[in-house]
Amino acid sequence: MAKSTAAASQIEKLRDDIRRHEYLYYVLDEPEISDVKFDRMMEELKRLESMHPELVTPDSPTQRVGGAPRKGFETYRHSPPMMSLDNTFSFEELEEFDRRVRELTGRDRIEYVTEHKFDGLSISLLYEGGVLVRGVTRGDGTTGEDVTGNVRTIHSIPLRVDAAELKKLRLPTDFEVRGEIIMPLRAFEDLNQRQEEQGGKRFANPRNAAAGAVRVLDPEITRARRLDFYAYFLLVGGRMAAHLHSEALESLRKLHFKVSPGRGICHSLEEVEKFIDTWEEKREKLPYEIDGIVIKVNDIALQQELGFTAKAPRWAVAYKYPARQETTVVKDVIFQVGRTGTLTPVAVLEPVEVGGVTVSRSTLHNMDEIERLGLRIGDTVIIERAGEVIPHVIKVVKEGKARHEIAVPERCPECHSKIHKDPEEVAYRCVNASCPAKRKESLLHFASRHAMNIDGLGEKIVDQLVDKGLVKDFADLYELKLDDVAALERMAKKSAQNLLDEIKASKNNSVARLIYALGIRFVGERTGQLLADHFGDLTKLAKATVEQLVEVPEVGPKVAQSIADFFSEPANQRLIRRLKDEGLKMTEKRRAPEDMRLSGKTFVFTGALPRRSRDEAGAEVVRHGGKVSESVSKLTDYVVVGADPGSKYDKARSLGVTILNEDAFDDLLEGKVTVPALERPGKMPGKSNSKGASKRTPQRSLF
Ligand code: AMP
Ligand code: ZN
């Protein structure tokens, strides 16, 4: 018992520390410790909790994982309804609003609070006993969807608030916070870039992307979208929980919610207008999109006096900024090569001022976008700018007299290699592994842990090697001289020698690693292994036709085409020859299964295994004659579960498939006869509360 109490207080202390650092990082943006250190604390907490599953509570920082995807959302009724806001577009309309407020209240001066109008989706967060219990979208205002699992993944939403702080603020532990979930511009850009790389659709704006991310059934997707939350109302028992709105915002801030960083208390309409003007310029620099300013009567008693219309409060209004759009002429379209080799068309514009900034370039994203716009060189277009994001073309407004078709270049503008297009994708790309546009990226991948595993060849070194012209491709690494490396910044002779030793040692890596390291599109670690097993020789692989490639297990036409494209590129053929000359291992005895112990058995992996990567685990299954599948079905024999498992875990449980942890998996590989099916309650966040039923599945004998 004493031991458990000690553990409990250790866990609670660690949670408090983590909560503090989450707040510093996600809310204040002022981290005090490194990411690595933070991750370590999190790992430690996970470890302690897995040893004491009975101590896991839903408000623990480890419980931001949202759990398994769901079938649909339940609806939830708001009380009071979540209102919309009336919009104004000019100072005249604003003066009209102010006049009405003064008339209705009989005052000649009104104090207003001004806040950013966040462009996202509004959400209601319900706390009970100081702990977040429910998150509901606005929906139609009266009823919304319960998206609790998803909002829990948003780091700036406290899973619980400090009880002492609530007391100090004289607030009860049951309350409601209303605010806006937004997607920061950085996250939005990254998301669209990923979408494009994977051949998906771009999101039109951060609002759509945020709304989509909150209303997906799989919380894992919400988490990956890196959303943020800003609070703007605090309610207790359905009523505003303060005498002044500014006080409520201050309380929210003290409870560790984010509130509008630009907020003001204005004593006159002139001050409101000044606030609006100031932020119209400054909004450029904000990390998120705002589409205006919200103006609210500060005094809650006056708010109540004013009441509501059918749709919106009479005590608040939104001032909308004009869209930052302008018309101009497209003089030319050029193509830029991105870090991954994708070609991006860019419009060269007649320079034009858009919201105070001169714009002379605008991204066109891809060829489909050009087609959608019906754009030709010489056309007059409308461009729009949001934040510091590159402006984009909205539409063609006038066709030019001499219109030129926009053609994708046949050769890469950087290295003159042939440009390839995957039939299923919109992107065109340069597949030359040594193309200057993606040199650094390729080298980092080549050196990475699961590829050639060259320790010490990180970003700083790669940057210098490339910038100094010492390394242009992978083969150059093997020609580096000690003096050259030792001359780099922050490189002592000793570490230079270590690096060269590492590079040299990598020559003996398996062919599978080398294939993966080349950075062929769609060829991950596992495919690298399968290709190595099948061909046993890199030079044979390089000569394989698409027909031969699709014979490799798990290689479909898309992957086969990508491999063939890669090796058809003369620059890549030269590279392979040079790597061979440098003495890298190119052939390997083909690996026949060691034994057929797992013959006829199908495995599925989910979650992170402690000791090996999923690909390594898969390779072992194959080595013993078994098969690996991506999805769980009745035909699956075993599901091997690691930390933070996904939906496959639930599926396995519902189908009654035998579940193993890594230890049990090892036993199976070693041919031990019986293996206990495993359920570790503490490892499955949020699942241990189903009345112990899930804690232990009957032990099953395996053979
Ligand atoms: P609209 O969607 O144009 O009708 O504008 C009303 C919406 O603006 C509200 O429902 C909120 O979701 C959102 N909003 C954004 N920022 C704020 C804020 N600071 N205060 C109140 N509402 C806001
Ligand atoms: Zn190129």
- Does this model's pTM top 0.85? no
> What is the CA angle 134-138-143, rounded to 5?
80
pLDDT exceeds cutoff 90 at 137: yes
Neighbours of ion ligand 2 (CB under 5 A): 412, 414-415, 417, 430, 432, 435
Contact predicate 46/685, CB 8 Å: no
pLDDT digits (tens, 9 = 90+) for 69-125: 566 788 899 999 998 899 898 999 999 999 999 999 999 999 999 999 999 999 999
pLDDT at 678: 44
- Confirm whether 436-581 and 592-703 share one CATH topology: no
Question: How many angstroms is it from 192 CA to the middle of ligand 2?
Answer: 22
Residue whose structure tokens are 């002139």? 270
pLDDT digits (tens, 9 = 90+) for 592-648: 667 788 888 889 998 888 888 887 888 888 888 888 887 888 888 999 998 888 888
Q: Count Cβ atoms below 10 Å from residue 363 Cβ, excluding itself.
A: 16
R_g (Cα) of the chain, nearest Å: 30
CA distance 95 to 591: 80
pLDDT exceeds cutoff 80 at 129: yes
pLDDT at 591: 60
pLDDT at 71: 65
CA distance 443 to 452: 10
Nearest residue (CA) to ligand 1, atom 7: 84
pLDDT digits (tens, 9 = 90+) for 33-46: 877 788 889 889 98
pLDDT at 634: 86
pLDDT digits (tens, 9 = 90+) for 501-528: 999 999 999 999 999 999 999 899 989 9
379 CB-near residues (< 8 Å, 6+ apart): 329, 330, 396, 398, 399, 400, 403
State the number of CA atoms in the 13 A half-sphere of 270 facing the CB.
Answer: 1
What secondary structure letter does DSSP report for 506? G
Indicate if ligand 1 lies below 6 Å from the C-beta of 384.
no
pLDDT digits (tens, 9 = 90+) for 373-412: 999 999 999 998 866 567 889 889 999 888 889 999 999 9
503 CB-near residues (< 8 Å, 6+ apart): 454, 457, 477, 478, 480
pLDDT digits (tens, 9 = 90+) for 191-205: 988 887 776 777 878
Q: Which CATH superfamily is domain 325-398 in?
A: Nucleic acid-binding proteins (2.40.50.140)
CA distance 568 to 97: 68
Indicate if ligand 1 lies below 6 Å from the C-beta of 295.
no
Output the CA torsion sign for 361, 363, 364, 366.
positive
Contact predicate 151/157, CB 8 Å: yes
Q: Would you say domain 436-581 falls under CATH 1.10.150.20?
A: yes
Specify the CATH architecture of the domain 2-63.
Orthogonal Bundle (1.10)
Residue whose structure tokens are 């704006």? 205
Question: How many angstroms is it from 24 CA to the middle of ligand 1?
Answer: 26
Closest approach atom of ligand 1 to CA 83: 10
Confidence of residue 679 (pLDDT cuts 50, 70, 90): very low
Which sequence positions are flagged as catalytic? 117
Concatenated DSSP letters of 633-670: -TT--EEEE-BS--HHHHHHHHHT-EEE-HHHHHHHHT
Indicate if ligand 1 lies below 6 Å from the C-beta of 84.
yes
Most confident of 291-300, 400-409, 451-460, 628-637: 291-300
Question: How many angstroms is it from 430 CA to the middle of ligand 2?
Answer: 5
Long-range contacts of residues 466-470, Cβ cutoff 8 Å, at least 24 apart: 466/439, 466/440
Question: 470: left (phi > 0), else alpha (psi -120 to 50), else beta?
Answer: alpha
pLDDT at 693: 34
Q: Average of pLDDT values for 428-436?
A: 93
Q: Which of 698, 699, 658 is nearest to 676 (CA)?
A: 699
Q: Where are the domains of the chain?
A: 2-63, 84-320, 325-398, 436-581, 592-703
Q: Percent of the chain at pLDDT above 90?
A: 55
Indicate if ligand 1 lies below 6 Å from the C-beta of 122.
yes
Q: Which CATH superfamily is domain 592-703 in?
A: BRCT domain (3.40.50.10190)
Indicate if ligand 1 lies below 6 Å from the C-beta of 88.
no
**Alpha helix positions (H), 364-438:** 367-373
Confidence of residue 492 (pLDDT cuts 50, 70, 90): confident
- Domain 84-320: top CATH class: alpha beta
- In the structure, how many helices (H) and strands (E) does the chain have? 26, 23
Question: How many angstroms is it from 85 CA to the middle of ligand 1?
Answer: 6
Average pLDDT over all residues of the chain: 87
